[in-house]
Amino acid sequence: RNTLNELFPNHNTKLFLHNINDEKKMELLFKEIQPDYVFHVAAYKHVTVIENNIYEAINVNILGTKIIADLSSKYNVKKFLFVSTDKAVNPTNVMGASKRISELYIQHLNLSSNTDFMITRFGNVLGSSGSVIPRFIELINQNKNIPVTHKEITRYFMSINEAAILVLKAITIGKSGQILLFDMGEPVKIVDLAQKMIDLFAKKKISIDIIGLGPGEKLCEELLCKSEEVIPSEENKIMIFKNKIDSPNFIDKYNELIQYYHNLSYDELKIKFKEIVPEYDTKKNL
């Protein structure tokens, strides 16, 4: 907030602290603010933590998103941007599948809403909370070995500035139902990244420990779902995707999930995820 006030001293910025799952409070906020644009970022994003906490993934990543999206439609928000993840593409984990389910719900709302709903995906943001680089630096400063899950694991990376630019450009050029992806360059091998950081910053001999993939973790992230096609973009750094098909049974399966999820077991919920997202594959590491 202080940064915004410094950059835009003539604009009035307000800070509100709310739980997105508190529907009554969120509706009061929408009534008061009457926003024109909504950037929905709130979610649980840590893959290995969410893999063992599927109820919270549904409660926040799916139901919380539904609450904010429905209110945006109800109060005639002009544009709604849902910040998703590359892990939603052919997901192998609960976090990615939960975000993909919300992507599908966002696109479903476009069929009946006056609000333009759109989605953006990107990979790991350098320097953000949970990013590998601050963690690697912390371990190097402690003269500890760096753990890497697999010698072939790769990830897409972008800076905080690049992520912010994508979000702002996406809501500017995006249209209803579109998924926008920033050019993240070539994927980076995590083991190479770790070695470069050791070479640059380590004062003592430090090794890399290969510890094995975590639950639901992929070797490589993907960019395009099987049901999506690429369409032209006026920005050469932004790719636009659009679903080729819309499952006629999606909303029934979705409503059944959010209505009864508290009564289902972990394994039953993963089956429900698979029914909604057929490409969800818990046994596949790419």
- pLDDT for 127 equals 67
- pLDDT for 220 equals 84
- pLDDT for 285 equals 45
Between 243 and 104, the higher pLDDT residue: 104
Between 247 and 217, the higher pLDDT residue: 217
Catalytic, 87? Answer: yes
- Selecting among 45, 66, 87, 272, the annotated active-site residue is 87
Least confident window among 24-28, 81-85, 212-216: 212-216
Length of the chain: 286
Q: Is 4 a residue whose pLDDT tops 80?
A: no
Q: Each residue of 257-282: pLDDT tens digit?
A: 999 999 999 999 999 999 999 989 87
Neighbours of 27 (CB within 10 A): 15
What is the spatial distance between Cα 109 and Cα 126, in angstroms, rounded to a whole number? 32
- pLDDT for 284 equals 54
Q: Each residue of 207-236: pLDDT tens digit?
A: 999 999 888 888 888 777 766 777 767 777
Contacts of 10 (CB under 8 A, 6+ apart): none
What is the spatial distance between Cα 38 and Cα 115, in angstroms, rounded to a whole number? 10
Q: Is 157 a residue whose pLDDT tops 50?
A: yes
Average of per-residue pLDDT across 117-123: 87
What is the spatial distance between Cα 23 and Cα 71, in angstroms, rounded to a whole number? 9
* Distance, C-alpha 14 to centroid of its chain: 25
Mean pLDDT of the chain: 88
- pLDDT for 161 equals 82
Q: Each residue of 45-76: pLDDT tens digit?
A: 888 899 999 999 999 999 999 999 999 999 99
Average of per-residue pLDDT across 191-205: 91
* Distance, C-alpha 265 to centroid of its chain: 25
- pLDDT for 132 equals 83
- pLDDT for 151 equals 93
H or E element that contains 137: helix 132-141
